[in-house]
Amino acid sequence: MKKKVISLMLVGAMAASMVACGGSNGASSDGTTDGGADGAATANVQSDDENTLTVYAWDENFNIPALEAAEKDYQDVNPDFKLEIIPQSQSSDVEQAITLAAEASDYSTLPDIVLFQDHYFQQYATNYPDAWQDANDADCDWDGLGSEKLSYSTVDGKHFGFPVDAGTAIFAYRTDLLEQCGYTIDDVTGITWEEFDKIGKEVYDKTNKYLLCMDGDGNDLFYMMLQAEGVSQFKDGKPYITENETLVKVFNTLVTLAQDNVLYLANDWSDYTDQAIQGDMVAGVYNGNWIIPTIKKVESNKGNWAITTAPTLTGKEGYASNGGSSLYITANCKKAELAKDFLAYTFGGRSAEDGQSITYDEALLNGGVIGTCAAAAESDVYQQGVEYFNDQPIYADIVEYTQNVPTVEQSDYHYQCRTALATALINVLQNGYTAEQALEEAETNLKFEMGL
């Protein structure tokens, strides 16, 4: 019963968290929504054709174009292959489908493959181990897909998932505003957060723009800044907050950045994207690379942005990740060998061995999906300069960043921890807490939620 309650709570939480992870609100080009749990229940989730696979996925503008590219790619080696995509409104619909099937002990309601958000897979693999088929023997170069990315989908040493999009973080800067203050992109690469604060104060004084921004409620800075240091918010499955010296330093750094008008903490996600980023309030953005389309909506700033790595406490270049999803084979798949070969050839990067992958190239061109495969990044599409970012080959750069992201301990309570730390920061900035009081309360509340 406890597993059921936890899983259903996660389904509800997913709807709230997906906006911040490159997910979809289900809107198509005509403003309607497709699929969803009700639609999936009536859809034909299996095909009798031996060369056809079915898949649940969300977002007609992002993930689904990537799947369509993969179908086309695999048809080069299997002309009879067909991928039937069953659209879902959002990622939580997939989680709900898994939960309902597992609680009914009937996986026949599932398609062959599902797209699943990375931060949630370990929870569902633990609660419903019979819902999945491992892909450990798939014919692909796992080492070339990014060890940090694969850490989400690896259970007891076995691979279960094939990465779709890299949640690799970027730090994007308005180079024109930096130049007004006498700085270049090189000056903000490989620096400490203390040096960043100094530059940020000058930028704010001279341009009235913040050098960093984040949604104050869904504050992902803690996770990314810690991961760039190679440190987690959890240790041995438990919250690692008050005794985590690195986390305490990161927390105090964010307090200082906010007090110095270097960090703008938005009231909510809309304020973050619409007002801060698109409203031209900021000179810097640090988040998963899925934030790029939001940045690019301001046409007047074309050519004035560049990306680089993040600052760190020590000054080394910082690599991190935030968000992303992978494809998994369900217990209901009767064509597991076909599924593994399809996924290995496409998202596993086997088709990129000749230097060009239809899956990765067209997913990027048609959906803006940046993959994780190191070999795919050698293609002309990934190597091309992007006009909005002053012709910087940002896609190849992002794949390179992906290979350097440290693997840190993950937790099923990732989002609950995010909320606790975001609240702690607000409590210091607005409610008179000391850092020690705020972090102690955050850790206590998180332990209570985890039943510890």
Q: What pLDDT does 238 receive? A: 96
Asked if residue 400 belongs to a domain, the reply is no
Strand 82-88 to strand 52-58: parallel, antiparallel, or no bridges (unpaired)? parallel
* Same domain membership, residue 128 and residue 13: yes
229 and 132 together in one domain? no
Q: Domain range holding 296?
A: 169-320+408-449
**pLDDT one-digit tens code per residue, 41-75:** 445 788 999 999 999 999 888 899 999 999 999 99
Distance CA 324, CA 312 (A): 23
- pLDDT value for 359: 94
Which amino acid belongs to residue 217? D
pLDDT classification of 302: cutoffs 50, 70, 90: very high
Same domain for 293 and 190, yes or no, is yes
Whether 183 and 298 share a structural domain: yes
Inside any domain, residue 330: yes
Residue 446 has pLDDT above 80, yes or no: yes
Contact yes or no for 113/55 (Cβ under 8 A): yes
Q: Are 251 and 174 in the same domain?
A: yes
Looking at the structure, tell me whether residues 341 and 357 fall in a common domain: yes
Please tell me the distance from the alpha carbon of residue 430 to that of residue 392, in angstroms, as a whole number: 40
* 436 within some domain: yes
pLDDT at 443 over 90: yes
**Residue 354 pLDDT:** 64
Percent of the chain with pLDDT over 70: 90
**Average model confidence (pLDDT) across the chain:** 89
Q: Kindly state whether residue 20 falls inside one of the protein's structural domains.
A: yes
Global pTM exceeds 0.75: yes
Q: Into how many domains does the chain fold?
A: 2
Residue where a domain terminates, one of 378, 397, 421: 378
* Residue 383 located in a structural domain: no
Closest CA relative to residue 311, chosen from 393, 200, 232: 200
| Same domain as 75, residue 160 | yes
**Residue 392 included in any domain:** no
DSSP, res 22: T
DSSP secondary structure of 227-280 = HHTT--SEETTEE--TT-HHHHHHHHHHHHHHHTTSEEEESSHHIIIIIIITTT
Distances (CA, A) of 282 to 173, 208, 274, 406: 9, 8, 12, 28
> Do residues 162 and 72 share a domain?
yes
Choose the weakest-confidence range: 17-26, 153-162, 199-208, 369-378: 17-26
190 and 252 co-located in one domain:
yes
The structure tokens listed for 385 are: 């300069």
pLDDT of residue 353: 78
From CA 177, how far away is CA 204, in angstroms rounded? Answer: 10
* Residue with more model confidence, 15 or 77: 77
Query: CATH code at 100?
Result: 3.40.190.10
Name the strand (E) or helix (H) holding 56: strand 52-58
Is-contact 351 343, C-beta < 8 A?
no
Q: How far is it, in rounded angstroms, from Cα 296 to Cα 3?
A: 42
DSSP-derived 3-state class of residue 364: helix
175 and 75 both lie in a single domain: no
Residues 30 and 56 in one domain: yes
Q: What pLDDT, on a 0 to 100 scale, did the predictor assign at position 424?
A: 98
